[in-house]
Every structure is written in structure tokens, then in C-alpha cells.
């Protein structure tokens, strides 16, 4: 298992702005490692209301064929603990998928008259349309354990605007 990431590697965002005098462009990439899932829980196993932790079976957590939306990690690596006992798996033993987005903005201004200006702006959120998966399902005794059923970011969104100043 990899050591947990440090604060410096959790999310990196570096905004770059470029201009040629009439057109401005801004690029804002964001790249981050996955978040810790927290606890891998079993519901209602030790006659308590609060979910309890799972047990480790000793199998590999990330064998080949994992790290996709249907099987992010090996569900066979964890099991429900026996009745009236608590599991052995610690917090954040599994990390979810990372995040990769790139937001782009283009701005262009035109002079129409001495005191009139026309400006246009186009913004692209998740401009590369990269699929960012959400957090894997963490309850051991469910059929969707280890799979991802949500997205962390929406698909590409484009926003266009115009402005007339006088």
C-alpha cells in the first residue's frame, strides 16, 4: 500500500494567463490524488446502530482489472466481521480516484467607436471533458461494494457572453 499523500500533493492548481494585446486567455488546470474513503463499513453487525469497520482478508486490494468504475478495488479483500465483533481495517486504507480538470477562458475586446467597446468571453469548464469518477461505495455487505456509481465533476460545460460598454 502506498503511503498517504502529503498536503503538498493533494491538489495542485497552477493558473496561467496569456495575452497578445487584444485577446486574453486563461488556463487553470487542477490535478489531485484521490481522497481517502474513510472507513469500509458493515451495517448492523454487532447489534449497534453505528456502522462498524470491515475485516481484511489478506487478498490484494488493487489486482489487475481494478481501478475502473465497476470495480475500483477488490471487494474480496474485505469481509464482514463475525457477529458481536469489530473489524480490523483502519481509516483511509483505500483511496478513491484522482481529479483532473482544465478550465479555459478566452476574452476578446473590440473598439466600436471612441467611447464604445464590445467584448466577448468564452469559458470552458472541464475543457478536456475528462471523466472524473466519484468515491467508491464503502459498505461491505452491499452488492455495489467497491464500485463507483457517481461522477465527481460534470462533463464539459461551455459558457459564452458578450458585453457592450459605452
Tell me what pLDDT residue 140 has: 87
Tell me what pLDDT residue 57 has: 93
The continuous run of DSSP H or E covering 26 comes out as strand 23-32
Percentage of the residues of the chain whose pLDDT score is greater than 70? 85
The continuous run of DSSP H or E covering 38 comes out as none
pLDDT in tens, 31-66: 888 888 877 777 655 555 466 788 999 999 999 999
Q: Identify the bridge partners of residue 107 per DSSP, sorted by sequence position.
A: 24, 121
Please answer whether residues 17 and 26 qualify as being in contact, where contact means their C-beta atoms are separated by less than 8 angstroms: yes
Dihedral sign for Cα 143, 147, 150, 152, please.
positive
pTM, two decimals, is 0.71
pLDDT in tens, 59-102: 999 999 999 999 999 999 999 888 888 888 888 888 899 999 99
Q: Is the pLDDT of residue 8 over 50?
A: no
More confident residue, 143 or 19: 143
Mean pLDDT of the chain: 83
Q: Give the separation between CA 127 and CA 156, rounded to whole angstroms.
A: 6
HEC string of the chain equals: CCCCCCHHHHEEECCEEEECCCEEEEEEEEEECCCECCCCEECCCCCCCCCEECEECCCCCCCCCCCCCCCCCCHHHEECCCCCCCCCCCCCCCECCCEEEEEEEEEEEEECCCCCEEEEEEEEECCCCCCCECCCCCECCCCCCCCCCCECCCCCEEEEEEEEEC
pLDDT category, 9, cuts 50, 70, 90? very low
Query: Among 3-12, 18-27, 128-137, where is mean pLDDT lowest?
Result: 3-12
Write down the domain spans for the chain: 7-165
Amino acid at each position: 500500500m502506498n503511503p498517504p499523500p502529503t498536503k503538498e500533493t493533494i491538489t495542485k492548481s497552477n493558473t496561467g494567463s496569456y495575452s497578445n494585446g487584444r485577446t486574453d486567455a486563461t488556463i487553470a488546470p487542477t490535478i489531485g490524488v484521490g481522497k481517502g474513503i474513510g472507513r469500509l463499513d458493515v451495517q448492523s453487525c454487532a447489534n449497534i446502530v453505528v456502522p462498524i469497520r470491515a475485516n481484511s482478508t489478506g487478498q490484494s486490494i488493487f489486482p489487475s482489472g481494478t481501478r475502473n468504475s465497476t470495480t475500483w478495488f477488490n471487494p474480496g479483500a474485505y469481509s464482514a466481521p463475525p457477529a458481536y465483533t469489530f473489524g480490523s481495517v483502519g481509516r483511509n486504507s483505500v483511496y478513491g480516484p484522482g481529479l483532473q480538470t482544465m478550465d479555459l477562458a478566452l476574452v476578446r475586446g473590440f473598439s466600436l467607436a471612441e467611447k464604445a467597446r464590445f467584448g466577448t468571453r468564452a469559458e470552458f469548464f472541464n475543457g478536456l471533458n475528462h471523466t472524473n469518477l466519484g468515491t467508491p461505495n464503502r459498505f461491505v455487505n452491499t452488492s455495489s461494494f467497491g464500485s463507483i456509481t457517481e461522477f465527481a465533476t460534470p462533463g464539459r460545460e461551455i459558457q459564452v457572453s458578450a458585453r457592450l460598454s459605452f
